Each structure stands twice: as C-alpha cells, then as structure tokens.
Amino acid sequence: MFGAAPISLASAAEIIGPIERAGVTVRRGDSIRVDTVLRTKSIGHFFPGGRVDGFDVWLELQALDENGRTVFWSGRMEDNINRVQLRVTYAQPPLLFHIRGNKQFEEVANRVGPSLKTPKVARGTAFGDIDNDGDPDLLLTTSGGPAYLYRNEGGNRNHFLVIKTEGTRSNRDGIGAIVKIKLPDGNTQWQMVKSGSSYCSQNQLPLIFGIGSHKKVDAIEISWPSSQIDKLPGMASNQFLRLKEGVGIEKQPGGQKS
C-alpha cells in the first residue's frame, strides 16, 4: 500500500515493511521499479558461498488512487473483491515477460494466443521441456480449476544446450550445483539446479540454456555443493547432456536437434 508522503523516484528507497509506513507515493504517469530483497533466517536451503533459496514468502502490492480506491492489488485473496472494488477482480490475466537482453523485460502475453488473455485464479507455474525439443514448456495451475499446459512452438529456432547434473559426493540430482557456460562471443550464462520454483510447483531439474545463434559453447564449468569444480571443454550446441560429478559427460538422455 502506498502512503501519503512523496519520495523521489530518481533513486532507490529502502523500504522495510509494512510498506504503508514508508511514506511512498506514486503519482499518475509515474514509472517505478520494485526490487524485493529477501533476507531469511533459519529457513531455506543454504549452499556454499552464502546463497540461500528462501520459500513460503508472499509479496502483495496494492495501489490506491487519489480517492482511496484500489486500482491494483497483486495476490488478492478475497474471491468476492469485485463486489466492493468494481475495478478489481479476483481472477487476473497471467503475465508473460520476455527478456529483451538489455536488463529489461517486455510483456508479451498478447502475442501467444488467446488463453493467456483470459483471467485466471492462477497459483503455481512449472517449466519443463515436455516434448524434449530443447525449449521450455509451461504448466499453469489454478485454484479450484483446471491446469493449463502450454507447449512452446518454435522456441527452439535458435540453439540450446540442456544439462542434467548427477552428483556423486553431492546429492544425487546435484541440487545446489551452479552450471556456467561460456559462449563464443565472450558472454557467460549461469544457472543453479534447484528443487523449488513457484507456489507448490517444481521446474524440471535439467537446465535449459538458450544460446541464440551460437552453434557451440566454448566451455562448461560446474560448481558442486561438495565444493568440487568440474571444467569441460567446448562442445556443439543442440545437445542433451548428463554431467556426472567428478566424471564429466556420462551419457545423453535426450535427443539431438540437427
């Protein structure tokens, strides 16, 4: 909830909840960015290097107009909210964002068909390559309603690399391992293998790297929870790799795109 006293939007303001005590005002036409920093204590999964995977944290943002009416409320819990706030609905259209590559996101739900335009009481989201073609597909669950499975058609027009980790000294699935790939243009991508994602949901454990027009990667590095670090040479893209701790490439569980 935004309070009454204005602050400068040109610089970041640290807000320690409840937000209504921070005195934040957003005027019509303003654009703001909300960065949420989660500090956990005695919860979550701790990994080497001080990283923590927090869970069971709920963030709500409410915006009021100058007359005190709610114009936006994320994560609203009352299913009859529309009776008292005519412009607020319990069901909301899902949002789909595309990373533009310059540290900005673009909302693209209107480009992928009519289903995402329909308001839903969505709860959990899980990503996985259900058809084994190298791009992530999406499963969306709803409260008291059906699950929606969206298959990514054409998402593999560019190149990819799918990496599944298998621990030996570390846990079997390599949860907590950080995988880095170095691309020919000098850029580096990294992901962590983790067991949680959205509410009561879990993404697939194999990591999907989208590498654009690159037909190979120059190097792969895996930092395991056991502190073991494995370094592998470059290899061709469009592969499904299983990387075993301390061993390297064990086998390819999936197919290969030509």
CA 124 to mean position of chain CA atoms: 12
Bridge partners, 220 (sequence order)? 181, 232
Cα-Cα-Cα-Cα dihedral sign, residues 55, 175, 182, 258: negative
Instruction: Output the pLDDT for position 10.
Output: 42
Question: Residue type for 32, please?
Answer: I
What tokens were used for 256?
A: 């290969």
Cα separation, 88 vs 74, in Å, equals 10
Output the pTM of the full model: 0.67
Cα separation, 234 vs 54, in Å, equals 34
Look at 205 and 35; give whichever has higher pLDDT. 205
| 3 has pLDDT over 80 | no
DSSP 176: T
Calculated CA dihedral for residues 48, 126, 72, 11, nearest 10 degrees: 30
Instruction: Output the pLDDT for position 4.
Output: 30
Instruction: Output the pLDDT for position 128.
Output: 93
Phi, psi dihedrals of residue 81, rounded to the nearest 5°: -60, -30
The mean pLDDT value of the chain amounts to 78
Instruction: Output the pLDDT for position 86.
Output: 75
What tokens were used for 39?
A: 């500090």
Instruction: Output the pLDDT for position 12.
Output: 45
Instruction: Output the pLDDT for position 46.
Output: 42
pLDDT tens-digit map of 43-55: 444 444 444 444 4
Cα separation, 13 vs 35, in Å, equals 10
What is the arithmetic mean of pLDDT over 144-159?
87
Reported as a pLDDT band with limits 50, 70 and 90, residue 5 is very low
pLDDT tens-digit map of 72-114: 666 556 777 777 777 778 888 888 888 887 778 888 888 888 8
Instruction: Output the pLDDT for position 156.
Output: 76
Q: Helix, strand, or coil here: 61?
A: coil
Instruction: Output the pLDDT for position 2.
Output: 31
| 19 has pLDDT over 60 | no
